[in-house]
Amino acid sequence: MDWTIIFLSLFAVANSISIGRIDNCSQIADMSVLVFNITQNECMCRMVHSNGSKFALNYFSRNRTCQLFESSVTWITLQFDVNSIFAFLNQSAISIRINQRSIRHKKNDIMDEQHLFYTELNHTLLFYLIVTTTTMTTSPSSASSSTTTATAGFVYSTFRNQVTYKVSDTLYAVAGTDVTGDNKSDIIAVYDPNKVGILVNRGDGIFLNQTVCSVANNSMALAVFDVDDDNRPDIIVTNHVIDKVNIMFNSENGTFRGPVLYSVGRSPRALSVADVNDDKKPDIVTANYYGNSISVLINIGNGTFSNHTIYQVGYNPYSVVIFDMNNDNRFDIVVANSGSSTVGILFNNGNSTFGVHNSYPVGGFPYSVAVGDVDNDNRPDIVVANYISNTLSVLLNKGDGSFMSQITYSVGTGPYSVVVFDMNNDNRLDIIVANSGADNVSILLNRNNGTAFNQTTYPVGNDPRSVAVAYIDNDCHPDVIIANYGSGSVSILLQNEN
């Protein structure tokens, strides 16, 4: 009976109180209570009511776990990192120490003023603090609850010199994901002729000797995702000569069985994984370079897939992303067409089919596409790496399913791969691009809601063709992983604690 009451209370809190983004490394007080996940993608925390206690909630997106902190003392310590947003639940007043003095905010008061705030971690950090206190009404219980959030402002990110690991003679793609179940991000790399290498993270940013798995020949693209619903991420690669995708299923502790092969269109150069038909099972989409098409493979359960369905797109599609682009709760498909210098969108019809390909002009030879809300208007935007033009294209979402004309930004020579991620934890998505011709990585920090970026470059190996972001050394700062095709190595850029 007690468990039932807690479970219902948990859903009331989760569905009614907007707490915004709560990132890694929030720490509060000295006491934690039970934490659990309902599913792999849905994180819930058990709320324990105690008169006089203060609560804060923290969500770790990397391993999809939560922390709930409780303190019954008068003062609680906020050990901030610059990516922290806290939610204080059911508090009539919150005292925050600012410039060595204390300011008390009563319930229903609203403050929207910037103050210089500091705290000590290993050293003193300076950033801006914005405090907002609001009152919300829950549903269906109609109980009143107060939420206070604290947000850090813009901070520069810097990275250490690269650490490299030799993997092979040539290296195509890389991903950073925990495949061993120890909450440490491992590195998965795909390389010719038929190998996938797994570098297991020791926990401090140092990796053990790689474990090698065999797949079909001419492997090229890579995704790591749990496709058989056993809470263990599996490995999916494309084989661009035999027109297949390979799935290697995670047995446990980072060992894999398979591969299982499925046919797709001609020369699959890229793939993306997400639930496109809303049945809670992840599906696979490939970009087929010579077929001028995409293939959609529907997951029919237990990691098995239906025959692929073909949709025509532009010439020589080189990259594909699955994302809800028009806010209808259905995943759409975004594809970079390298031969026609366009980016295309196929909107989800809602019946496991997709509409006609709509395209927008971008730069020359768009080799990579990423999606994220770079202007903070709650609408996903499109970022494209243009290989020949040496530029990035940013297409801002109008909100009606269409996009503005591209805004271009110069980067290094031969941008080959792009991702978007909040690197400095200021609640703005930044852009990371691997410049294959310049042997470096550009990190563009978002300064003004997607219209101004500060660019810094970092040298890596020869001919970098794939970039990923992961928390490598468990210091709660996102790090950068690069696959260097020419040198057959993985470069790791660890972020400094600045």
Q: CATH 2.120.10.30 in the chain, residues?
A: 159-495
Structure confidence by residue, pLDDT tens digits, 246-301: 999 999 877 899 899 999 999 999 999 999 999 999 999 999 999 999 999 999 99
Token pair in block for residue 471: 């928390």
| pLDDT for res 405 | 96
Determine whether 112 is exposed, middle or buried from the number of CB atoms within 10 Å of its CB (0-12, 13-18, 19+).
exposed
Cα separation, 286 vs 321, in Å, equals 9
Dmax over CA atoms of the chain, in Å, equals 68
Which of the two residues, 414 and 106, has the higher pLDDT score? Answer: 414
In order of 49, 361, 363, 425, the CA distances from 335 in angstroms are 48, 12, 14, 28
Structural fold of domain 159-495? Neuraminidase (2.120.10)
Structure confidence by residue, pLDDT tens digits, 122-146: 222 222 222 233 332 222 222 223 3
Ranges of beta strands (E only) in 215-316 are: 219-225, 234-239, 244-252, 255-263, 268-274, 283-288, 293-297, 299-301, 304-305, 309-312
Structure confidence by residue, pLDDT tens digits, 145-169: 333 333 334 456 688 888 999 999 8
| pLDDT for res 54 | 43
| pLDDT for res 193 | 78
> Per-residue DSSP letters for 30-83?
S-B--EEESSSS-EEE-----TT-EEEEEEETTTTEEEEEEE-SS---EE--TT
Cα separation, 347 vs 79, in Å, equals 43
